[in-house]
Amino acid sequence: MSCWQPTVLLVDDDRDMRWVMRNILVDAGLNVVEADGGASGLDLATRRLPDAVLLDMRMPGLGGDEVLRRFQRIDPGLPVIVVTAHGTIPGAVGAIRDGAFEYITKPFRNTHLVETVQRAVMRRSVTRRATASGLNATIATIMGQSPAIQTLTAQIEAIAGTNYSVVIQGETGVGKEVVARKLHKYGPRANRPLVVVDCGAISETLTDNEFFGHEKGAYTGASERHIGCFEAAAEGGTIFLDEVGNLAPTGQKALLRTLEEHTLRRIGATEQIKLDVRIIAATNSDISERAKSGCFREDLYFRLAEYIISVPPLRSRREDIAYLARRFLTQARETLSRPPADIAQGALDLLHSYSWPGNVRELRSVMRRAALTLSDIVMPEHLACSLSNGGAPAVSLPSATTPFRQQVRRQVKAIERDAVIAALDQAGGNKAKAARLLGIDYKTYRMKLKIAGGGQMAPANGGK
């Protein structure tokens, strides 16, 4: 049976010193990777995060102080042990302040070096186990505990702690953004920005402006400097490219160039800005097939898809439907300040038999709508209307007993009711803010909310 070996990265420009430390650590059962300078060490760490780093402080090019700070940006939890022949008390204090795990002076005792590295590796292992436990619990709470979700969680856990570019594939509404946010939260860049870009909403002519920003006066109407999404995440953040398959060819070209050169330049600027970002992309189509057919740049696909995660549709994990339905129902009832409610078995059977073309997002909408109409338990009749038309209220055909105009008014009222409640949810219970979101006055909003059935909701966040 194979035994896991922690990996230690040696960053030292002295080849002989690297040889000595490598032999000591290999004899102690550790795997060793070497870099002859700060820049190459950082490059190795971004491609495969080590379990600990031994870092020399005096090197040509990037000095140890700057390399230490950059390691902390790459992965705040990475234990970096400073090893230097020019040890001073101020230097040790400064290194520890900047996040160093330990400060060792040369010459050192072999046993002291090994013990320090083993302590660093142990702390790293404990931190990773705690992170994995938190990740498992979070995904289970949000998405369920079916075997399909357990497999998905294992994939997220395997890749979250790296800087790999990830493509998340799945149908609309399955929770691709949830996965992207967990990859960021439990990854090495969690303390840096996560910038979300809706690629399908970017006009082809505005791609460069949205990606890279512009300088004041760069073109007519550019009255002030605009920071693009890549610059917002440039210093160690994460870019989430939602529906990247919808990106226009010019946008694909600009994206590929930026990722290859690791730099960006605002429109109208002359200076280049260094780029240190992780890319997470999501798509509801198979972009590998699109790349093969020439509809998506193949070179960009290979750059993005260092790892692929597939999020299963809801119909393939029906074990999660009851759990998710109850969760969404509870959330909606709390938003409406109404008492908890349950779901009758007949209603659960109806939910299980439905195909869910809109996936989890559709289920959430159905349960939010049911929360408005029930008293204390969801019955099949509370769901039949929503499920008969893909999750939206079913539109009845004109009949002799119900005039067509009256049916239209009913549908308009249903849509208005959903908008009123959704605005209140988005505003965190603040009715005044919800009114502003809808662009109507507060008095009108309160009236419509009362008609919708949410008039007894307690104000939140200082709402009226």
CATH code, residues 395-464:
1.10.10
Note if the pTM is more than 0.85: no
Residue 210 has pLDDT above 60, yes or no: yes
Cβ atoms of 121 and 52 within 8 Å: the answer is yes
Q: What's the mean pLDDT in 130-148?
A: 83
Residue 403 has pLDDT above 90, yes or no: no
Average model confidence (pLDDT) across the chain = 83
Helix pair angle (431-438, 442-452), 10° resolution: 100
pLDDT score recorded for residue 94: 67
pLDDT in tens, 11-68: 998 999 999 999 999 999 888 999 998 888 888 887 677 889 999 888 888 888 888 8
Residue 400 has pLDDT above 70, yes or no: no
Nearest to 175 by CA among 278, 282, 326, 279: 282
Residue 399 has pLDDT above 60, yes or no: no
| Nearest-angstrom CA–CA distance, 17 and 134 | 40
For residue 393, name the pLDDT band (cuts at 50, 70, 90): very low
Residue 166 has pLDDT above 70, yes or no: yes
236: its two tokens:
């160690």
For residue 147, name the pLDDT band (cuts at 50, 70, 90): very high
Residue 441 carries which side chain, given as an amino acid letter?
D
Between 414 and 130, whose confidence is greater? Answer: 414
Residues 6+ apart with CB under 8 A from 155: 309
Residue 129 has pLDDT above 70, yes or no: no
Which CATH number, 3.40.30.10, 3.40.50.2300, 3.40.50.12160, 3.90.650.10, labels domain 7-128?
Answer: 3.40.50.2300
Q: What's the mean pLDDT in 212-229?
A: 86
pLDDT score recorded for residue 458: 38
pLDDT score recorded for residue 327: 93
Helix pair angle (359-373, 380-387), 10° resolution: 130
Percentage above 70 pLDDT, the chain:
87
Q: Reading across the β-sheet that carries 52-55, which strands appear in turn?
A: 31-35, 7-11, 52-55, 80-84, 102-105
Residue 3 has pLDDT above 60, yes or no: no
Tell me how far CA of residue 270 lies from CA of 37, 215, 218, 232, in angstroms: 30, 10, 11, 18
| Nearest-angstrom CA–CA distance, 341 and 337 | 12
For residue 394, name the pLDDT band (cuts at 50, 70, 90): very low
pLDDT score recorded for residue 222: 81
For residue 410, name the pLDDT band (cuts at 50, 70, 90): low
Between 462 and 296, whose confidence is greater? Answer: 296
Which of the residue ranges 220-229, 363-372, 449-458 has the most confident prediction, judged by mean pLDDT?
Answer: 363-372
pLDDT score recorded for residue 409: 61
Tell me how far CA of residue 297 lies from CA of 257, 292, 311, 429, in angstroms: 12, 9, 23, 45
pLDDT in tens, 169-203: 999 999 999 999 999 988 878 888 999 999 888 88
Residue 464 has pLDDT above 50, yes or no: no
User: Which architecture characterizes domain 146-312 according to CATH?
Assistant: 3-Layer(aba) Sandwich (3.40)
Output the CA angle 378-142-314, nearest 5 degrees. 70
Nearest to 105 by CA among 120, 91, 119, 123: 91
Give the three-class secondary structure for 83: strand
User: How do the domains of the chain map onto residue ranges?
Assistant: 7-128, 146-312, 314-394, 395-464
Topology match between the domains 146-312 and 314-394:
no
Cβ atoms of 37 and 61 within 8 Å: the answer is yes
Which CATH number, 1.10.8.60, 3.40.50.2300, 3.40.190.10, 2.40.50.140, labels domain 314-394?
Answer: 1.10.8.60
What is the helix, strand, coil percentage profile of the chain, to 5?
A: 50, 15, 35
Q: Which of 8-12, 34-38, 222-226, 275-279 has the lowest mean pLDDT?
A: 222-226
Cβ atoms of 7 and 33 within 8 Å: the answer is yes
pLDDT score recorded for residue 240: 96
Residue 128 has pLDDT above 70, yes or no: no
Residue 256 has pLDDT above 90, yes or no: yes
pLDDT score recorded for residue 1: 33
Beta-strand relationship, 166-169 and 276-283: parallel
53's enclosing H/E stretch is strand 52-55
